């Protein structure tokens, strides 16, 4: 893929990629993870070979980068080495949302954070990134059967947790 086409693809996926980076890593590290992922692609350490959609492939790069970042953070913590600073990726513009929508989003984020990592990841990919289970499995580097199991268990547990979530009456009627 030509560098200009590659940059255009990455720019088109920026908002979704940032959302996925947030789901795969600590929110304080998500910008750095996304930047590292961009650098891997742009300097050729990660190459798109067309075996899946570009989005699915890039989400796999982000997930692997987040995993590497967590390992490095753990080693730094164990060795008591201060974390180096990294340039921050500019966040895309934030659209004003209604109070109800913001409350729903916060309730979902709180509830999703209670799920095991793989359940949380597959639900994020399917619901927020609109990937199929097959694409989510590829992005997560797991089998389709494993993705389906985590998806089913995650939906069931999410439903149970949301029924217990203390949110406003209006929010429950809105379909939470």
Please give the average per-residue pLDDT across 91-102, as a whole number: 45
Is residue 60 domain-shared with residue 134, that is, in the same domain? no
- Could you write out the three-class secondary structure of 62-104? HHHHHHHHHHHHHHHHHHCCCCCCCCCCCCCCCCCCCHHHHHH
Considering the domain architecture, whether residues 108 and 157 belong to the same structural domain is answered as: yes
Say if residue 123 is in the same domain as residue 172: yes
Which tens digit of pLDDT belongs to each residue from 104-139?
Answer: 667 777 788 889 999 999 998 988 888 899 999 999
Q: Who wins on pLDDT, 82 or 113? A: 113
Structural domain range at position 84: 1-94
Instruction: Indicate whether 73 pLDDT > 50.
Output: yes
88 and 101 in a single domain? The answer is no
Q: Which residue among 66, 94, 122 closes a domain?
A: 94
Query: Can you tell me the mean pLDDT for 14-43?
Result: 91
Query: How confident is the model over 1-19, as pLDDT tens digits?
Result: 788 888 999 999 999 999 9
Can you give the CATH number for the domain in which 143 is found? Answer: 1.10.10.10
CA distance readout (Å), 103 to 28, 48, 118, 169, 174: 21, 38, 25, 12, 11
Domain limit, last residue, from 57, 78, 94: 94
Do 90 and 44 belong together in one domain? yes
Q: What number is the average pLDDT over the span 31-42?
A: 93
Residues 6+ apart with CB under 8 A from 128: 16, 19, 20, 23
**Crossing angle (nearest 10°) for helices 30-42 and 54-79:** 120
Q: Is the full-model pTM beyond 0.75?
A: no
Contact partners, residue 23, CB within 8 Å, separation at least 6: 120, 121, 124, 125, 128
The answer to which of 38-52, 77-91, 98-112 has the lowest mean pLDDT is 77-91
Token reading at 112: 């999703």
User: To the nearest 10°, the Cα dihedral for 150, 142, 63, 126?
Assistant: -50
Q: Which of the listed residues 94, 115, 142 is the one where a domain comes to its end?
A: 94
The answer to whether residues 4 and 86 belong to one domain is yes
CB atoms within 10 A of CB 44: 8
Helix axes 54-79, 14-24, angle to 10 degrees: 40
Verify that 4 and 88 share a domain, yes or no. yes
For residue 65, the model assigns a pLDDT of 94
Q: What is the percentage of the chain residues whose pLDDT exceeds 90?
A: 41
Contact 140, 151 (CB under 8 A): no
**How many domains would you assign to the chain?**
2
CB 17 within 8 A of CB 57: no
Whether residue 27 sits in one domain with residue 112: no
Q: Report pLDDT for 81.
A: 41
The whole-number pLDDT of residue 89 equals 35
Q: pLDDT: is 64 or 79 the higher one?
A: 64
């Amino acid at each position: 893929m030509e560098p200009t086409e590659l940059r255009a693809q990455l720019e088109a996926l920026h908002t979704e990629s940032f959302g996925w980076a947030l789901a795969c890593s600590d929110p304080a590290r998500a910008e750095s993870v996304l930047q590292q992922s961009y650098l891997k692609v742009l300097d050729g350490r990660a190459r798109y070979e067309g075996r899946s959609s570009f989005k699915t492939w890039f989400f796999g790069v982000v997930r692997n980068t987040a995993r590497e970042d967590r390992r490095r953070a753990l080693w730094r913590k164990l060795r008591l080495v201060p974390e180096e600073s990294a340039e921050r990726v500019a966040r895309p513009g934030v659209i004003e949302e209604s109070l109800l929508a913001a409350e729903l989003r916060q309730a979902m984020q709180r509830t999703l954070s209670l799920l095991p990592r793989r359940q949380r990841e597959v639900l994020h990919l399917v619901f927020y990134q609109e990937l199929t289970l097959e694409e989510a499995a590829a992005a997560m580097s797991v089998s389709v059967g494993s993705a389906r199991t985590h998806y089913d268990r995650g939906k069931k547990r999410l439903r149970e947790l949301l029924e217990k979530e203390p949110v406003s009456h209006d929010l429950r009627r809105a379909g939470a």
